[in-house]
Structure 1
């Protein structure tokens, strides 16, 4: 998979389409919750298999950390380390921007995935968009 920063309106729409497929269609998150006011200020990434968009995410900088958000891979592309590839690219961007801590809100079934990448749970479980989550952080070098 090739991960790229979104630079064009077409790429941004492709990222939104992947997010809509995963979060709205598959996980039943309301569209107005999934595509929100933070999309205008965020850094968006898109992952491609050849020319097909298969993954997406966004980064925002909040206080002293880079916040990883909306990380998703199309269902038929999961299990190929594409999510890990996306996170690695996001962490590189955060570090290049001068931040040393990453933070994310993980859906509870994904906790083990993020722990394998060095993230630690720092919150109790909470509900976001009707889905159980926890907050996780990682110190970046």
Structure 2
């Protein structure tokens, strides 16, 4: 199963968490206590896989924000697979799914180090830089039109 797929099993969710822990907790020092939150059950989770690799290489999730926008979160690609286009493939899948489920716009809180990646996808900065789990972030948004 090469590519990006919606998580539909508990095992898949555990794989998504394993990627998130590897990237956010182990690599970036985010406290494990804040990595899993109250939105896990309501979110739609995605996994990125390379054929022949038993471990998922990336993950992302989205949920409906109070504003009605698709709130994209927890976009992560394992270090060994960065630069291979997995972030873009994950975002393509998340945005397409969000459109299919009736969302006309997306919002995310990007780490400032990743803001250029999202800007290249049409996201615009909204507001000032803020701290989340000790990492500078900026809110970004875009329309999800075709």
TM-score (norm 2): 0.94
Deviations 1:62-120 (CA, angstroms, capped at 9, x unpaired):
12200100000000100111101100110001100111100000000111111111110
Query: Secondary structure of 1:124's match?
Result: strand
Q: Which runs of 5+ in 2 are unaligned?
A: none
The answer for the alignment partner of 2:106 in structure 1 is: 102
Moved over 6 A (4+): none
Give me the CA root mean square deviation: 0.9
The answer for the alignment partner of 1:59 in structure 2 is: 62
Specify which of 131, 136, 140 is matched with residue 132 of structure 1.
Answer: 136
C-alpha deviation, 1:40, in angstroms: 1.6
C-alpha deviation, 1:52, in angstroms: 3.0
Q: 1: distance between equivalents of 2:102 and 2:117?
A: 25
The answer for the alignment partner of 1:71 in structure 2 is: 75
Q: 1: distance between equivalents of 2:35 and 2:81?
A: 21
TM-score (norm 1): 0.97
- Equivalent residues, number: 141
Higher helix share: 1
Q: Which runs of 5+ in 1 are unaligned?
A: none
The question of whether the paired residues in 1 share the 8 Å contact of 2:60 and 2:76 is answered with yes
The question of whether the paired residues in 1 share the 8 Å contact of 2:123 and 2:141 is answered with yes
The answer for the alignment partner of 1:12 in structure 2 is: 13
Query: Secondary structure of 1:52's match?
Result: coil
C-alpha deviation, 1:37, in angstroms: 1.2
